[in-house]
Structure 1
Amino acid sequence: MSTPIGNAVVGVVLPVVVFGIVIYSWYIYIFRLCYAHLLDTNKAEAVAFMVIGTFFMVITLISYLRVLFSYPGKAIHATPLSLSTPSTFPRFYYSPRLLDPKTMCRQKHDVEEATETTSLLPVVSISKNDGLPRYCDTCQCFKPDRTHHCKECNACILKMDHHCPWISGCVGHKNYKFFFLFVLYCAIYALWVFCTSIPTVVEAMNEPDATLDPQWIVLLVLSFVFGMTLWGFAAVHGYYIINNQTTIEHISQRPNEVRIDFDISGHNFEIVTTHHDDNLWDLGHSRNWRSVMGSNPFGWFLPIYGGLGDGCVFPYNDSLYENIIERAKRQRMMLNPPTSQAF
């Protein structure tokens, strides 16, 4: 069982380990391999190897710093919508007219005005099976869709993906892009080092009176193990991104309870249970990618800006949204069938 002191120690030690491995491998690659054995025989190739290797090392550490010092987003700081005042009405909800499809941010119209209320209804949200809004007793806050409580962080994280000890925190809505870029660039750096080091080491060992530097072996082992492992990890998270899923959502076997409110009273609603395989937030590969990596293609692979939206409300898949509304209406008709008129 983890303790606050243990988490604090791990939170300091693991980042030091990451920086140590990356910088140490870079030192061996640049100074003990490329500079010492390749520069004299093939200067152009040595310079290219050192420049490219240094670039991927630097971008890896920048991405790591970004994810270390970026905020994943907590539900306790989320700004709820204010469509109505009843305590039983969801604090976070979705309607196709609520969000700008390009920025995934709330539209500029005032959702509090009564004139705008009817244009947003019906609204949908993830709820408990009794229709009550999801509430965290520990954090004492309402939980937006896709938010989960992390026991390690003791907080409700917006669009939580997983808790990562290597960053001493959670991967969530606001730092997921930086986490993905760190994993991706670290994998590229490791495999670049591995693939370019092997021929250099072989050539060096064929020289007269050649001696094997033990640190070359360390470099090859580290770069191969981390490269192959992180490439698999990057591929998995790339799959999650283009399908608009989190790790939690992908492995979950529990269905979602979707609440459909037909008015703002907080009492006129239906609950529709969806299959756990239904990806409610799948917007197509292109929009899914942009929701995490940003709308500007020039910034997709730069650890500068995060994803789109505020992490509280996410657009639903259009067909699933329509299907949920129709099922809710059919449920309403079955519970309150129209009375036949006698002639």
Structure 2
Amino acid sequence: MAKPSPIASKVAGIILPFVVFGLLAYSWYIYIFRVCVHLLIKETTNQKAEASKNTKKERKNEMMRVIINDIVAFMTIASFFWLMAIVCYIRVISTSAGSPMNINQTPFAIMQDERFAGQSLPCYYYSPNLFDNKTLTSRHMNNSENVNDKSPLLSISKRDGQRRYCHICECFKPDRSHHCRECNKCILKMDHHCPWVSGCVGFGNYKFFFLFTSYTGIYGLWVFVTTLPLVVRGLQDMNADLDPQWIVLIILAFVFGFTVLGFTGVHLTYILRNETTIEHLADRPYDIRVDFDASGDNFEVVTVEPEHYLWERSRKENWESVMGNSIVGWFLPFKRGLGNGFVFPYSDRMYHEIVQRAQRQRNSMNLSHYERVSSSLESTVPITS
């Protein structure tokens, strides 16, 4: 499959946001003015005519109030979800997904004490004892702390244990970051490149993207459900007043409602499992570097198959890592989730399993080395009679 040219990707990134705004604006106009207002005027006129013949004035006013309240409720609900979709979309396209080029490369230890002069590991390596579970950020070690008392540090590395480095962006890549060829830069916790939002969806704007698809899907579903009976009735009666725009609206609402809402369901699954689209589709094993201290020289590399969810914790923790810890904030596109995008907590099960495998690997290597040395010494001992 041919890869789209950079020029085509740029043009698509410029045009498609206008297409999204245009479709949302068009659908809202048709629903509010060509459906709701039209229905309000028509039903009000009919009720007035019928009430003037055989209904008391009080009954006529009551029926009109019910009709007006229903229509206004339909318009208000649709407009709310439409407005939230617009605001969330603006937040997605105006918020950077995040770049590892902005990482503070300061090591864990504060280099003011001679005891820590040899420590060089960056602050985005993960260790349970060097991680704040409330803010989802790593912390620096104090000079009074003994590094040997800390749990081993984990990070994804190359097969030989070297840190992942992007030669295009000239920066180190922490866990879950990837280089996007379309954007030509590295993205923190990259989920996917989306031309519909004119860029990448990653750590910085993933929450807004999820809210955008959620509100857009609900808006489309509401418009579809409330407009479909009107269109079906018009087609059955062969009504000459049937507006062709209603049929167009039904098609758009179906796409917005069911397709986008299904897409939202997929990403809801990703959030609850704490994985990205890239991680879900990955078929290459992870090479996990396990540092037993902060010297940078005492480590083992463990290979983990991609079907293991490295960062899956409880569903509540997974959800809050993306949506934040404020219940009200879950529904508003103002603040992103927790953390800084540089370090992510491994699941307790996977952390202990990886560390144990690294320790067994280290012990096995030490035993092999001891056997080789012993064999060599025995071969050099002279045989005496």
Normalised to the residue count of structure 2, the TM-score between the two structures is: 0.83
Query: Aligned runs of 1:169-208 on 2, under 5 Å?
Result: 169-203=199-233
Cα distance 1:147–1:40, how it changes in 2: closer, same or farther (>3 A)? same
Question: Quick check: 1:43 aligned with 2:68?
Answer: yes
Query: Aligned runs of 1:221-260 on 2, under 5 Å?
Result: 221-260=251-290
Residue of structure 1 equivalent to 2:377: none
Question: Quick check: 1:16 aligned with 2:36?
Answer: no
Question: Quick check: 1:79 aligned with 2:104?
Answer: yes
Query: Aligned runs of 1:317-336 on 2, under 5 Å?
Result: 317-336=347-366
Q: After superposition, what is the alpha-carbon deviation per residue over 1:272-301, rounded to whole angstroms, capped at 9, x for unaligned? A: 111211111001211101100001111111
Aligned residue identity for 2:313: L
Distance 1:290 1:248 in 2: 20
Residue of structure 2 equivalent to 1:306: 336
Residue of structure 1 equivalent to 2:52: none
Residue of structure 2 equivalent to 1:117: 147
Structure 1 unaligned blocks of 5 or more = none
Residue of structure 1 equivalent to 2:130: 98
Matched residue SS, 1:300: helix
Question: Quick check: 1:148 aligned with 2:173?
Answer: no
Structure number with the higher helix fraction is 2
Matched residue SS, 2:128: coil
Residue from 9, 23, 44 that aligns with 1:7: 9
Distance 1:312 1:247 in 2: 18
Cα distance 1:131–1:206, how it changes in 2: closer, same or farther (>3 A)? closer
Matched residue SS, 1:336: helix
Distance 1:244 1:127 in 2: 20
Distance 1:156 1:208 in 2: 57
Conserved 8 A contact 2:129-2:151: no
Residue of structure 2 equivalent to 1:157: 187
Q: Identity across aligned pairs (percent)?
A: 50
Q: After superposition, what is the alpha-carbon deviation per residue over 1:102-135, rounded to whole angstroms, capped at 9, x for unaligned? A: 221234xx42636253343421111101000111
Q: After superposition, what is the alpha-carbon deviation per residue over 1:32-86, rounded to whole angstroms, capped at 9, x for unaligned? A: 1110123552211110110111111100000000001011000111223413676
Conserved 8 A contact 1:11-1:165: yes
Distance 1:19 1:210 in 2: 31
Distance 2:218 2:149 in 1: 48
Conserved 8 A contact 1:205-1:211: no
Q: Give the C-alpha shift of residue 212 in structure 1.
A: 1.9
Residue from 65, 73, 83 that aligns with 2:90: 65
Distance 2:10 2:346 in 1: 38
Q: Give the C-alpha shift of residue 12 in structure 1.
A: 2.0
Conserved 8 A contact 2:99-2:188: yes
Distance 2:164 2:300 in 1: 16
Matched residue SS, 1:115: coil
Cα distance 1:115–1:190, how it changes in 2: closer, same or farther (>3 A)? same
Aligned residue identity for 1:239: T
Distance 1:22 1:209 in 2: 27
Q: After the TM superposition, which of the residue ranges 114-123 and 244-253 deviates more from structure 2? A: 114-123
Conserved 8 A contact 2:107-2:122: no
Cα distance 1:116–1:215, how it changes in 2: closer, same or farther (>3 A)? farther
- Give aligned pairs, total: 339
Residue from 305, 309, 323 that aligns with 1:275: 305
Matched residue SS, 1:315: coil
Distance 2:324 2:236 in 1: 49
Conserved 8 A contact 2:120-2:296: yes
Residue from 316, 320, 333 that aligns with 1:286: 316
Q: Give the C-alpha shift of residue 17 in structure 1.
A: 0.4
Matched residue SS, 1:272: strand
Cα distance 1:149–1:31, how it changes in 2: closer, same or farther (>3 A)? same
Distance 2:303 2:238 in 1: 73
Structure 2 unaligned blocks of 5 or more = 44-66, 110-116, 372-385
Q: Give the C-alpha shift of residue 5 in structure 1.
A: 4.0
Aligned residue identity for 2:81: F
Distance 2:166 2:221 in 1: 43
Q: After superposition, what is the alpha-carbon deviation per residue over 1:239-281, rounded to whole angstroms, capped at 9, x for unaligned? A: 0000000000001011111111112222211111112111110
Conserved 8 A contact 1:160-1:248: yes
Cα distance 1:18–1:86, how it changes in 2: closer, same or farther (>3 A)? farther
Q: Give the C-alpha shift of residue 90 in structure 1.
A: 5.2
Conserved 8 A contact 1:90-1:125: no
Distance 1:115 1:208 in 2: 82
Which structure's CA Rg is the greater one? 2
